[in-house]
Structure 1
Amino acid sequence: MNPPLLEIRNLVKRFGGLVATNGANLSVHKGEVHALIGPNGAGKTTLIHQISGALESDEGTMVFDGVNILGMSMHKRVAAGLARSYQITSIFKKLTVLDNVALAVQARSGSSFRFWRAAISEAAIFNEANEILEQVGLGSKARVIAGSLAHGEQRQLELGITLGTRPKLLLLDEPMAGMGPEDSEKMVELLSALKGQSTVLLIEHDMAAVFRLADRMSALVYGQVIASGIPCEVRANPEVKRAYLGEETV
């Protein structure tokens, strides 16, 4: 198994008297799709917020690619290769689909958005953006205004924008939320194509999709990871079964 790209130990987040993450431990290895599962209110989104830097942690350690990132700002985490999609990423609805992804590629290169007009002539930026659009299934929509895309296509574009930053770790919080069966299937296929190319930490309530995508998974209950391993092991774990009594996830 590859070494951990992200190693979390004893992570805690309190909101007054409420402990949302309570000594959480998690390891995400390079190249894997790692699913974080758990009932509503388990602390999954809070943990993703802590990893992305949207929330400051109260205790614990968080080592990403060999560096302790606890206390590091969100934009510095993005620059280090840690990117979150969907709830944090937003599209520029008045720009074209191509321009949305090109902006992400340009930002990664360190260019200022003030030089956007000059950057239009930089063929390399747009060549890479077009390649990403092909990768996420939007190659034919490059010149379309982003705000006119259907909901599922906007999710594909958000994935493309995130990939434009060349993340070492991609955080996906319910990427299929609000999608119909056809769009969900398309997203599963897109994420399947990323396996082995990108490291992904995934929260998703569609458990059929989770078991198709995940190489490993961890179950979070009351802010603590109670089991980690390959999907069949976690699904068969007695503690996970008890935690999900009456849930559709087991």
Structure 2
Amino acid sequence: MNTQAQAPLLDVVDLVKQFGGLAATNHANLRVAQGELHALIGPNGAGKTTLIHQLSGALAPTAGRILFQGQDITAMPMHQRVHAGLARSYQITSIFQRLTVQDNLALALQSRLGSSMRFFRPARAERRRYEQADALAAQVGLAARLQHTAGALSHGEQRQLEVGMVLALQPQLMLLDEPLAGMGAEESERMVQLLLALKTTSTVLLVEHDMDAVFRLADRVSVLVAGSVIATGTPESIRADAQVRQAYLGDEGSAAMAAAASTGVAR
């Protein structure tokens, strides 16, 4: 895919977020192309979460611009960004622990219409909505869990459900913040396979610490250090960049990053 030949879906321009005298985001520039899975990596404290908060609308930047599909959304409220097609998993208030997987997905589908909580009963009455929920469950690997309550799911399955609820919003861009966090090897592999499938049809900005997963999944990788993006490129170019290794992990971690990256598959 030639991601450089087309206008970016998301264009972050000189974004700054200051907390007192601390610049948590420091003139960050980031472009995400339509159809790519773009990974954002960086050490703890680099400002990744602060940047994602600004993209989703949870935090207002101090300076800079956020352009989405060519529109300046810097001052746009969070809920309007969701309707514009930019969705983050936590923006679904959370999964409803006492409801079934099917009901959670049906409610997420109904929320796309902008209804109040009075939509609860109509959603249950609409067979088509539940057919769509069933299809989403199958897409995220939860077809066998349809009638299980969300609270009874494993941690990994709950994360799969969260991804399904984001998909229900039909976003143009999905912001996924550490979807593999807290998972064991088997659950991590299931999530990686889900993300590999999603990247064939969706545009994703992925924040993730699991370097093996990053280098298996990403079309492009951006490295955030001290609130600034210091490098963007293919997984191959990023793992070969000595400056990135030094900034990301330091001398002791440089070889470890190279070893992890060398096991990855870029596509």
TM-score above 0.5, yes or no: yes
| Superposition deviation, residue 86 in structure 1 | 4.6
Superimposed CA distance per residue, residues 21-73 of structure 1 (whole angstroms, 9 cap, x where no aligned partner):
10000000011000001111111111011101111101001000111110111
- Correspondence for 2:30: 26
CA contact (8 A) 1:5 1:29 kept: yes
| Superposition deviation, residue 143 in structure 1 | 1.0
Whole-angstrom CA distance in 1 between matches of 2:70 and 2:7: 10
Q: Are residues 110 and 86 of structure 1, via their aligned partners in 2, closer, same or farther at CA, if it must alter by over 3 Å?
A: closer
Q: In structure 2, list runs of 5 or more residues that go unmatched.
A: 259-267
Superimposed CA distance per residue, residues 160-191 of structure 1 (whole angstroms, 9 cap, x where no aligned partner):
11111111110111101000000000000000
| Superposition deviation, residue 129 in structure 1 | 0.9
Q: Are residues 177 and 86 of structure 1, via their aligned partners in 2, closer, same or farther at CA, if it must alter by over 3 Å?
A: farther
Q: Give the alignment partner of residue 54 of structure 2, picking from 27, 50, 53.
A: 50
| Superposition deviation, residue 88 in structure 1 | 6.3
Q: What is the one-letter code of the residue matched to 2:161?
A: L
CA contact (8 A) 1:86 1:155 kept: no
State which drifts further: 115-124 or 43-52. Answer: 115-124
Q: Give the alignment partner of residue 192 of structure 2, picking from 166, 188, 191.
A: 188
Q: Which runs of 4+ in 1 moved over 4 A?
A: 86-89
| Superposition deviation, residue 89 in structure 1 | 4.8
CA contact (8 A) 1:217 1:228 kept: yes
Whole-angstrom CA distance in 2 between matches of 1:75 and 1:47: 18
State which drifts further: 183-192 or 194-203. Answer: 194-203
CA contact (8 A) 2:92 2:166 kept: no
| Superposition deviation, residue 94 in structure 1 | 1.0
Whole-angstrom CA distance in 1 between matches of 2:184 and 2:142: 18
Whole-angstrom CA distance in 2 between matches of 1:222 and 1:151: 31
| Superposition deviation, residue 210 in structure 1 | 0.3
- Correspondence for 1:168: 172
Size of the aligned set, in residue pairs, is: 250
Aligned to 2:232, the other structure's residue is in SS state strand
More helix by share: 2
RCO greater where, 1 or 2, for CA within 8 Å and sep 6 or more? 1
Q: Does 1:91 align with 2:99?
A: no
Q: Are residues 130 and 88 of structure 1, via their aligned partners in 2, closer, same or farther at CA, if it must alter by over 3 Å?
A: closer
Superimposed CA distance per residue, residues 66-112 of structure 1 (whole angstroms, 9 cap, x where no aligned partner):
11110111111111111111586510001111111111110112333
| Superposition deviation, residue 234 in structure 1 | 1.5
Q: Are residues 116 and 88 of structure 1, via their aligned partners in 2, closer, same or farther at CA, if it must alter by over 3 Å?
A: closer
- Correspondence for 1:249: 257
| Superposition deviation, residue 3 in structure 1 | 2.5
Whole-angstrom CA distance in 1 between matches of 2:219 and 2:93: 25
- Correspondence for 2:160: 156
Q: In structure 1, list runs of 5 or more residues that go unmatched.
A: none
Whole-angstrom CA distance in 2 between matches of 1:132 and 1:87: 18
Whole-angstrom CA distance in 1 between matches of 2:244 and 2:157: 34
- Correspondence for 1:205: 209
CA RMSD of aligned residues (A): 1.3
- Correspondence for 2:122: 118
Aligned to 1:57, the other structure's residue is in SS state coil
Identity of aligned residues (%): 60
* Structure 1 length-normalised TM: 0.96
Q: Are residues 138 and 192 of structure 1, via their aligned partners in 2, closer, same or farther at CA, if it must alter by over 3 Å?
A: same
Q: What is the one-letter code of the residue matched to 1:14?
A: Q
